[in-house]
Structure formats: C-alpha cells, structure tokens
Structure 1
Amino acid sequence: MPLFNIQIAIFLLITVSIALLTYLKCRDAAKSNDHSTAGDNKEVFLAGGSLSWVFVAGSITLTNLSTDQLVGMNGNQMALLAWWEFAAVAGLIFLAKVFLPLYYRYNCTTTTELLEKRYNNHHIRALIGVLFLLGNIFIFIPAMLYGGSLFMKTLFGLDASIIVIATIFGLTGAAYAVFGGLRAVAISDAYSGILLLGMGILVVILALMAIDFDFSGIPTERLTMIGGNDTPIPWHTLLTGMLFIQIFYWSTNQTITQRAMASPTVEEGQKGVMAAAAIRLLIVPPIIVLPGIVSYKLYGDIGDAAYGRIVADVLPVWLSGAFAAAIAAAVLTSVNSILNSSTALYVCDIHEKYVGTSPNVPKLNKIITVAFVVIGLLLVPVYATADSIINLVQELYGLLSMPILSAFIVGLLFNDVDARAAIIAVIFGVVLYAFFSFVWMPIHYIHLMFVTLWSCVSVAILVSRFGFGTRPAFVGFAGFKRLGTE
C-alpha cells in the first residue's frame, strides 16, 4: 500500500474511532427526564450536569488548543508566545476560585445569566450575549477553520483549496454540536485531548532531535522570554492588560466556562479546571513554541506555515496520519464547542427573552449551528490574508473582551449600579477600542485593552451616579460571599 494511502487509512481509523467512542459514551449516559425548556437547555448546553472532572479538564484544554494556537503561536517562531499559556493559568485559577462558585450558586446556564441576576436587568445579559456571539461568528470560527485547513494542506501537500477543506471541518463540527450537544462535544474533547497532547509532545521531541538540541544560530530575540517594545508581547504588557485578557477568556467566556458549569457539583467542576490549569502550565507551552523555533533554524522565517512543515518533516510518514487525526480532532472540538456555546447564548439570552419563552431547543440548535458555520466559511478567505492568525485574533477580540469584562467587574464589585449605565459603558468601550485599533494606536494593543477596561468601569460608575442618580458603592471581593444571599 502506498505511504499516502497508509496516512489516509490511519487518519480515518483514528477519526472514526473517536467518533464511535463518543457515541458509545453518550448512548450510555443517563439523560434527563425533564423535557421542559429548562430541562432541554440543561441537557443540550450543560450535558445534563453529568461531566466528571476528567472530561471538564479535557474539554477545556482541547476547546482552546486548536490550530489558531498550534499554527498561530508556532507561526511567530519565538519563545515569547508561551506567556499566553503561562498567564492562562491565572485565568483558570480565577475561574475555579472566584467565578465558578457564583455560576453554580445562581444555577446559571450561561455566564451572562449572572449579569442579569446581579443587575436585575435582562437587557445587559442580551447585549453581552450578542457581543459574545459576534466574536464567535466573526473571529473564532473562521480563524479555526482557516488554521486547520492550512495545516492539513501543508502537511499532506493537498491540491484541494483551503475553502474545501474548511467546509469539511465545518460540516463535521456542526454534526457533533447538533446531534450530541455539550455531552458529545466534551467527551470527544477528552478522547482527542489525549491524542493531541501525546502527538504534540512527540513532535517537540523529534523537532529538537532534528537540530541535535542545539539552538545556536537562532537569534536571541527568538529565544528570550523578555519581550522588547517591537515584539508581540512586550514585557511591560504583562503588568497591565495580560492578566485581564486571561480573566475574561477563562472566567467569563461561555465557550470555556460552559464545560466547568456542566459538572454535578461545583467541587467536581473546580477539580477539572485546576487539572486544565496544570496541563497549561506543564505541557502546553513547549508544544506551542518549540516546533516554531526549530523551524526558524531549519527554514527561516516562514510564518504560519512553520508548524505544518516541521511536522511533515520530523514525523515518520505513517505517523503523520495519526497527527492529522489529532489536528482534525482539535479543530472539530474547538469549532463544535463554539457552536454549542453560541446556540446556548442565543437561546437563553436572546430567544427566550425577546422571541418566545418556550422554544424548540433541538430545532433552534440545528438552525443556528448551520447559519454560524456558513458565515464562518464565508470569512475564511479574509483570514487567509493575515500575516499572523493568533495576533489578528487577539487584536480583534479586544473590541469585545474588555467591554464585556467591565460589565462583570462593575456588576460584581459594586452595588447600586444602574444597568443602563453598564450598557452605555460597554458600548463606549467597543467604540473606544475600535478607535484605538483602526484610527490611532499610540501604545501596544494589550496596554490599550487595559485602558479600555478601566475607562469602561469609570464610565459605568460616573453615568450611574450622575446620569441615573444612583450611589454606586464598592464592595470588593468580600462582596462575593454575600452575592448568593442577596
């Protein structure tokens, strides 16, 4: 059998095996007998509250570790990008210790539900839900579809166009999200995670062996962890916006927190989150930077094509099919995770509030999933023109991330803030960061995220006090203990 056919055979065998194992696990899982709208929401979006800490950890890891990470971060070909992963540990600890107990205490299906209950206003919940949806549709889905397609094309030297490969990814990911809900998504994540992390570590070892563990000849700026002003992560940004970016992404982002909210108890969810934090600290950083650095020594500055090329060169041909299956799994799990969380946001935050209180959740899940995949595919050619996937994603998401986080900070750390003031502040933040991004960027975008965040918080407090006549009072972190009794 020709080697290419062996690759394809191994790829298909592993891919089908993961799907079969996921089906068997989902079939054996006890489903809720509650067929009300609330019951449907819990089953489709929170796996019936059945996820053990193992599946929580695996799903959180794989939801984030997709081709925008593997391809994008290795595409920078420098060690500095590992700071995204080290800082992520702080965001996950914040989720486990601060936010997750609140989500469970309030019995939330979406993170935005916490805002509704804190502000006693469903309009702010809907606004934040819409912003999350915009980020998922226009940023994350197309970026992941493009990154996965580029990797497959580079690895196998395929003649197929990027859009054709992306369509296959999109349709398969949609099938998981539609037919299995979060349970199927999380279970497939956990199985795929073992494969991807194992193969990722193997690539790191083989890449280092390819240069005899010799980093000589690689410029110092590619190896340093202290970034200068002209690098993707200047060292001083670690003191301003970096921590808040991580708190937003890991603690308030529905796509991530949904997994931790799907455990039977808060303690089980916390165990899964802390296990995911350990994986990010110990395993993920070398996977997302070392192959790129080695590729710089071997091929020079080749950008986002670096990871696919180094994998194709260092892996035995028969193993490349297994690695392709791992990458395919990473793309699929990330895409179907975002699709499932997007449907949750639309159904719970928008449809039930403004369209109908008793929607057909499974039917809506199908319609929304298909629509979002189509939009994501239409945007794939736009991302194909980017110099760096990961840098583009981070910069664009600043339009939404800091304004959204400001609503959580104000709602949780202050009493008596008018919801209308928080809404005005969020809209102000989107406009402010858009101005910074597209008109005037005086300092690094991570610093500007920090500026945007605290500008939004200030606007919310001032508008509430002088525009709506309330008296906002800072309660601080001590107020978290009282939130459940208010």
Structure 2
Amino acid sequence: MRQTVALSGIDICIIVLYLAALVGLGLYFARKRRIQTAQDLFLGGRSLKWYHVGLSIFSSNVSPVMLVGYGGMAYTTGMVAANFDWLAWWFLLLLAMVFIPHYFATKVSTMPEFLLRRYGQRSFTFLTYYSMISTLIVSVSFVLLTGGLVIAQILEVPFWVAAAGATVLATSYTATGGLAAIAKTGALQSVVVTVAAIIVGVIAINRIGGVSEVISRSPKEFWTIFRPASDPVYPWHAVILGYPVVGIWYWCTDQTIVQQTLAAQNIEQGQYGTMLVAGLKALVPFIFLLPGIYCLILFPNLANPDHAYLVMTANLLPVGLVGITLAALIAALIYDVAIGINAFSTVFSLNVYSKNINPGASPARARLVGRIVIIGSSLIALLMSLLLSTVDKGLFDLSQAVGTYLAPPLTTVFLLGVVWKKATSKAANLTLHFGSALCLCVGIMQIADFPHKAFWPHFMLLTFFLTAILTVFMVVISLLFPETGPGPSLPTLAQTYASQPPYDRRKIWFGWTAIGMLMAVLYYLFG
C-alpha cells in the first residue's frame, strides 16, 4: 500500500493545465464583466442566476476539509458525519424563506449591515470586526491548513510552499474579477470535484466486489448515523441539539455563504439557488463520505485516518485519473480561499473603509482599496494557517469545534432579531459582547482541558448549552429594558414579501416539500 501519490508526467501536466484553465477562466470572466464599483467587485453586480448561486455555494462547501476530513471521519466512525449534510436542509430552508427575504428587503451587502438595520450602530460595529476575524480563521485559514497539508504531501514540498502557492492563485482572479468570476468558476469546479470523487468511489466498490460486500465487510454500526449517547465521538443527542446552533450560524449568518445569495438577481433566484444546495447535500455523504468506509475495507490500520482519500487516490486510480482527482482537490482549496478572502474584503471595504475611514471615497477609489485588502487579507490568512499547522487534532473535528465558540452569540442575535420583534438593541449588544467573551473563555478552557478533560461535555452539546444561556439572557434583558423609543426594527415576513416583485412561491414550497420527504426517507433508512 502506497501512503503517498506517485505523480507521472501525464498527471503533472493535467494538474498544471487544469489549474491554468481555472485561473484563466476566472480572469476571462473578470475581463468580460467590467468592474466599476466595489458592489460589482464583491457582489457581482447582483446578477447571478439561481444555478450560479447554488453551485457556487455547493462548491465552497465541498472544501478540502470535506474531501480529506470526511474520509478520515468515515474511516473511523462511518456514516455519522452525514448528519452535517442531511440536517442542513432545515437551515437552508430557513435561509431561503426567512432570512433571504429580509436581507433583500433591507438591501444589505453584508451581515453587519443587517444588524445595523435591526439593532443599531453598536451591533454593526461589533459584528464588522467579529465577522472579519471569524472569516479569516474559519473560512480561509482552516481551508489553507487542510488543503496545504495535503498538497504538501502530494508534491513533497514544505507546507508553506503549498499554502503560499494556493493563496497566490486564489488572489489572482479574486482581485481582478471579484465574486462574479469566483461564482462562475465555482459552477465548473463543483462539477469536476464531484465527478472525481464519484470515480474514486466506483473504482473502490468494484475492487471490493460490489455494494453487498461493502456492507458485509464493514462494521454494522458504521451504517447508523445516530450513535449511542455514550459514544465519545458524535453521540446522537449532541448532534441533534448542537447542529442547529452551528447550522443557523453557518448557513444563515456567515458572510461567505450569505454573500453568494445576495449576489442573486432577486429573491426568487436566491431561493432557488439555496434549494439546489439542499438537494445536492442529500447526495454528499454517498459521494464524499462513503470512500472513507471503502478505504477501511481495502486499507485497514492507517496510521492517520485523514490520509484515507489520498491513499485511495494513490492506490486505486490509473495514470491520468490521479491527475484529474488531485487537480480537483487543489482547485477546491484555491476556490475556497478565494471565497473567504472575498467575503473578508467585502466587510472591510463596504463597512470599515467606506463608512468610517473614507466615507466620501469615489467608486474607483473604493474598488482599488477593495483589491488591496484582498491581497492583504490573503497574506494574513496564510500566516494564520502556518500557526494552525502546529495544532495536533483531527482536521474535520478541529474545523467543527471552532464553530462551538463562534456560533452561539450570532445564532442568538440573528434568530431572535428575525422572529421576535421585542428583541432590543441593548439586549443584542450585551449578548454579542458578553456571549463572545463567555464563548472565548470556555473555548480556551476546553482546549486546555482545564480544570479537567472529563469536566467538559461534547463540543456540540457545549454549543447548545451556551446558546440556551445566551437566548435566556437576551430575552430577559429585552423584557426588563424594552425600547424607550420606536427603535430599529424589521418589517414582518409578509410585509417583506409584499415589498418585492410578485412571483409564484408555490413551486418553491413544492420543491422544499420534496427535499424534506427525501431527507425523511434517508433518515428512515440510516437512522
């Protein structure tokens, strides 16, 4: 069994040509669409169709963390990680039918701007800096860490060389073409990554001897997505209680995801694009998770489960297909870095520079600053990934655990702000500041195993407890200190829909019903 990938001359040529085509396509879209303002750069002129939105979000979600981390998770625990895809549809539904209408009605470009409309200036200022930090850590640095380690192993180069190369390629067409170029290359990228993973899976099944052999030769508990409450990795109650917190934060409030829906032509296109993502998420475990189980059967006793995907690639694929598969993996890294630095630069340019540093900046000046920030933020993310590379923990677990400490304050403030009119500015500000300090302290203590490792619950259960505490806190403060004046507020959902051009929402609800029925069948089969 080979632990590393032996690249032939043909594979190297395929990788180089694919990456050149990806960057060239991004630069082509950049030249085709004239960038005149910061809005054009960061939101694609709000011109994306539903399939661009859906495939772009899907491509950013199919990151190296999924390609590599999912293989490692499935190698050790089986199908349990499918919950992260199959539970997502509830929160994509919430994004499409509740949050997107509000985001479009308020004409916001960033998540801090939404809090400005709902809670006022202090919440806006806090989230501006909070979201920039979380974007750099979660959406860029972790992706660079995961993908950079894989590429370094493949090419037998130092980690910093691999991470720096990916950063340079991502920055090249992000700074020139912005979100429109990223989204349109993402449509192609999502197809290539998916096809490459399917090829790996089909070859593995054939080598094992068919689906029945896969089931009979793998542990029985691997095919149950709800593990016992005593399970140390993902107990069922921790998943059920904790995922909604992370799901609302990631799918409904994270700038990197929501920004791609804000670039849609209108609410309808954004909602259909979100629905497309939900439908594709039903397929993700079969395409990206099962190869980890195949690897366990074919190559047991791996020293590092995170190498499962690479071991499969190295030992099963013929010359040529190795190049295509690895090119897709490298391109997934480049794409996700591009999405992340674009989101960071959007918040800085539109919320910090244009509102505080130079409010009277011309469109050309704002566009120039935006491009400079894209380059600067990519360098910062690169340095952070180098620091994170010293942390010894499973890649998928590490990326998920970070959400434990970032999600609770934002989930509480955004959700109550949308569904409860009595939520006040004072309560939101206190929840953001107190909640962030609380979650940061808890996170540091848990990582340090202080006072003792056995003291801490599972990180997904912990995120539920933190959110419950912050929700009660915000409700109590809102009731004790109601708004003295009219205060900022949002229109009702009905008023929000009424303010938009009419369209037939029955088709959208029919689609969501069909997806819900599909998910119910999947949970019946695997639950």
Deviation at 1:28, TM superposition (A): 3.3
Alignment of 1:41-440 (within 5 A): 41-76=38-73, 77=75, 78-119=78-119, 121-154=120-153, 156=154, 158-213=155-210, 214-215=213-214, 216-228=216-228, 229-282=230-283, 284-297=284-297, 298-301=299-302, 302-359=304-361, 360-384=365-389, 385-439=391-445
Equivalent residue letter for 1:209: N
| SS across alignment from 1:415 | coil
Identify if the C-alpha distance between structure 1 residues 450 and 370 changes in structure 2 by more than 3 Å, giving closer, same or farther.
same
Stretch deviating more after TM superposition (102-111 or 432-441): 432-441
2:388, 2:29 → 1: CA distance? 36
1:15 aligns with 2:19: yes
Stretch deviating more after TM superposition (238-247 or 41-50): 238-247
| One of 459, 463, 473 as aligned partner of 2:473 | 459
Corresponding residue for 2:3?
Answer: none
Identify if the C-alpha distance between structure 1 residues 400 and 230 changes in structure 2 by more than 3 Å, giving closer, same or farther.
same
Q: Which runs of 5+ in 1 are unaligned?
A: none
Deviation at 1:114, TM superposition (A): 1.8
1:224, 1:442 → 2: CA distance? 25
Identify if the C-alpha distance between structure 1 residues 372 and 234 changes in structure 2 by more than 3 Å, giving closer, same or farther.
same
| SS across alignment from 2:8 | helix
Deviation at 1:469, TM superposition (A): 4.9
1:171, 1:287 → 2: CA distance? 29
Maintained 8 Å contact 2:88/2:281: yes
Q: Which runs of 5+ in 2 are unaligned?
A: 1-5, 447-454, 500-527
1:446, 1:90 → 2: CA distance? 17
1:311, 1:80 → 2: CA distance? 23
Deviation at 1:182, TM superposition (A): 0.5
2:399, 2:436 → 1: CA distance? 16
Corresponding residue for 1:450?
Answer: 464
Deviation at 1:199, TM superposition (A): 0.9
1:233, 1:471 → 2: CA distance? 45
2:277, 2:423 → 1: CA distance? 35
1:481 aligns with 2:490: no
When the two structures are superposed, what TM-score results if normalisation uses the length of structure 1? Answer: 0.90
Deviation at 1:224, TM superposition (A): 2.7
Deviation at 1:243, TM superposition (A): 2.1
Identify if the C-alpha distance between structure 1 residues 3 and 387 changes in structure 2 by more than 3 Å, giving closer, same or farther.
closer
Equivalent residue letter for 1:447: L
| SS across alignment from 1:20 | helix
| SS across alignment from 1:348 | helix
Equivalent residue letter for 1:166: A
| SS across alignment from 1:240 | helix
1:478, 1:103 → 2: CA distance? 11
Equivalent residue letter for 2:141: P
2:149, 2:129 → 1: CA distance? 29
When the two structures are superposed, what TM-score results if normalisation uses the length of structure 2? Answer: 0.83
Identify if the C-alpha distance between structure 1 residues 350 and 460 changes in structure 2 by more than 3 Å, giving closer, same or farther.
farther
- RMSD over aligned Cα, in angstroms? 2.6
2:63, 2:268 → 1: CA distance? 27
Deviation at 1:26, TM superposition (A): 3.9
Residues 343-376 of structure 1 show CA distances to partners (whole Å, capped at 9, x for unaligned) of: 1111223233322213432222233223322222
| Percent identity (aligned) | 26
Identify if the C-alpha distance between structure 1 residues 425 and 72 changes in structure 2 by more than 3 Å, giving closer, same or farther.
same
1:351, 1:420 → 2: CA distance? 26
2:360, 2:399 → 1: CA distance? 36
Equivalent residue letter for 2:195: G
Residues 305-328 of structure 1 show CA distances to partners (whole Å, capped at 9, x for unaligned) of: 111111221211211111122112
Identify if the C-alpha distance between structure 1 residues 325 and 21 changes in structure 2 by more than 3 Å, giving closer, same or farther.
same
Maintained 8 Å contact 1:417/1:472: no
Maintained 8 Å contact 1:260/1:273: yes
Deviation at 1:471, TM superposition (A): 7.8
Deviation at 1:152, TM superposition (A): 2.4
- Provide the aligned length of Structure 1 versus Structure 2: 471
Identify if the C-alpha distance between structure 1 residues 22 and 139 changes in structure 2 by more than 3 Å, giving closer, same or farther.
closer
Equivalent residue letter for 2:114: L
1:382, 1:227 → 2: CA distance? 34
Maintained 8 Å contact 1:58/1:190: yes
Stretch deviating more after TM superposition (346-355 or 327-336): 346-355
Deviation at 1:416, TM superposition (A): 4.4
Residues 182-238 of structure 1 show CA distances to partners (whole Å, capped at 9, x for unaligned) of: 011111111111111111111111122232232344333434312233343211124
Equivalent residue letter for 1:183: A
Maintained 8 Å contact 1:62/1:192: yes
2:206, 2:438 → 1: CA distance? 48
Equivalent residue letter for 1:378: L
| SS across alignment from 1:299 | coil
Residues 149-186 of structure 1 show CA distances to partners (whole Å, capped at 9, x for unaligned) of: 222234x3x22111110110011111122111101111
| One of 8, 18, 28 as aligned partner of 2:32 | 28
Deviation at 1:443, TM superposition (A): 2.1
1:71, 1:86 → 2: CA distance? 19
Deviation at 1:419, TM superposition (A): 1.9
Maintained 8 Å contact 1:227/1:234: yes
2:146, 2:287 → 1: CA distance? 16
